[in-house]
Copies of this chain bind each other. A is one copy, B any other.
Amino acid sequence: MVKLARNPVPKRGKFSVRTATGKGETVEILAGLPDGARVERIVSRGAASPPGFWYDQEEDEWVMLVAGAAAVAFEDRRMRLRAGDWLLIPAHCRHRVASVSEDAVWLAVFLPSRIRSPWSRGHGKS
């Protein structure tokens, strides 16, 4: 017999903008589902994407620069970001971190689009 938990337990945490010690980018998963949906805290420590590298993701990504400064490059444009600026990057929209400050901290939300994304205009047109 299946028994359902009456009250699944909440969890809490503190989003720190301290970059602490260490080298290179670190990723902390704050919430995640088996289907790939997740919330991440990313500390860049000045580490831009390697030359020639592009992110090409299955998920739509909503990402906010919580602290620091950065520039994100797309195939046809570049966007400069300061703390509080956010980007909505549709799945398969190729992008890279062109530059990023030592104190940069990101909050990234990945949303797997099993259904066609409303932002991917042009997809599925005949």
Contact = CB atoms under 8 A, between A and B. Distances in A.
B39 A9 contact: no
A50 interface: no
A7 B76 CA distance: 9
Contacts of A89: 10
Q: How large is the interface on A (under 10, 10 to 19, 20 to 34, 35 or more residues)?
A: 35 or more
Given A30-B62, A30-B88, A86-B15, A120 B8 contact: yes
A44 to B, nearest CB: 18
A93 B60 contact: no
A33 to B, nearest CB: 6
Task: Give the 3 A-B CB pairs with smallest separation, nearest first.
Answer: A5-B122, A8-B90, A31-B62
Given A13-B88, A30-B62, 18 more contacts: A2-B124, A3-B122, A3-B126, A4-B123, A5-B120, A5-B123, A7-B74, A7-B75, A10-B74, A11-B88, A12-B86, A14-B85, A17-B84, A30-B86, A31-B111, A33-B60, A37-B111, A107-B107
